[in-house]
């Protein structure tokens, strides 16, 4: 089914950037206050929720926490919180969250850092971009952090259930 809706030019450019970027690198977000190296040990991730939304919640629970999505379906909801922050929440066949992907542009209210996501810094690539993914088998999920290069980088954090 194709859905048509009207969005601003800046939102369209953001979405295009996100979709092109995510085609090559999956990404998501969640948060808790632990401290460790974030090397994929058996503990859960530092980021395990986003705005109180967690893996396993129902679509109804998510919509109560985050309000009405800008675009919604049985498979995913898309939320735009500001010009600098948006999120996608993905649902399985039972309408429960299996992945959360959050996008931040410079100027976002709470721009995440690699240290905040994993407990340690990530060395940037020669072009200034960054990427890291860590699997947490005992927690049943993985988390990735990605930041594009340039003066106005896009930061994407993804949290996804391991199937």
The two tokens of residue 113 are 């850092």
- Tens digit of pLDDT per residue, the chain (163 long)? 444 434 443 443 444 344 433 433 333 333 333 334 445 555 789 999 999 999 999 999 999 999 999 999 999 999 999 999 999 999 999 999 999 999 999 888 889 999 999 999 999 999 999 999 999 999 999 999 999 999 999 999 999 999 8
Q: Which pLDDT value is given to residue 130? A: 98
User: Could you tell me the CA-to-CA distances from 132 to 5, 48, 136, 146 in Å, in that order?
Assistant: 34, 16, 13, 7
Q: Which pLDDT value is given to residue 163? A: 84
13: which residues sit within 8 A by CB, 6+ positions away? none
Q: Which pLDDT value is given to residue 107? A: 84
Contact 27, 156 (CB under 8 A): yes
Tell which CATH classification among 2.60.40, 1.20.120, 3.90.220, 2.60.120 matches the domain 26-161: 2.60.120
The two tokens of residue 76 are 């995913």
User: Could you tell me the CA-to-CA distances from 18 to 81, 86, 88 in Å, in that order?
Assistant: 15, 10, 11
The Cα–Cα gap between 35 and 19 comes to 32
Dihedral sign, Cα of residue 50, residue 53, residue 59, residue 64? negative
């Amino acid at each position: 089914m194709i859905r048509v809706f009207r969005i601003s030019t800046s939102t369209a450019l953001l979405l295009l950037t996100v979709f092109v970027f995510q085609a090559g690198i999956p990404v998501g977000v969640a948060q808790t206050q632990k401290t460790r190296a974030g090397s994929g040990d058996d503990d859960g991730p530092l980021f395990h929720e986003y705005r109180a939304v967690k893996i396993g919640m129902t679509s109804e629970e998510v919509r109560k926490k985050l309000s009405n999505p800008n675009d919604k379906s049985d498979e995913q909801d898309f939320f735009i919180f500001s010009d600098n922050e948006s999120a996608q929440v993905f649902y399985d066949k039972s309408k429960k969250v299996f992945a959360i992907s959050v996008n931040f542009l410079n100027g976002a209210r709470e721009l995440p850092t690699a240290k905040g996501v994993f407990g340690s810094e990530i060395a940037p690539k020669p072009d200034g971009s960054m990427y890291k993914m860590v699997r947490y088998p005992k927690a049943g999920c993985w988390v990735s952090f990605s930041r594009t290069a340039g003066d106005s980088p896009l930061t994407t954090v993804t949290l996804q259930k391991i199937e």
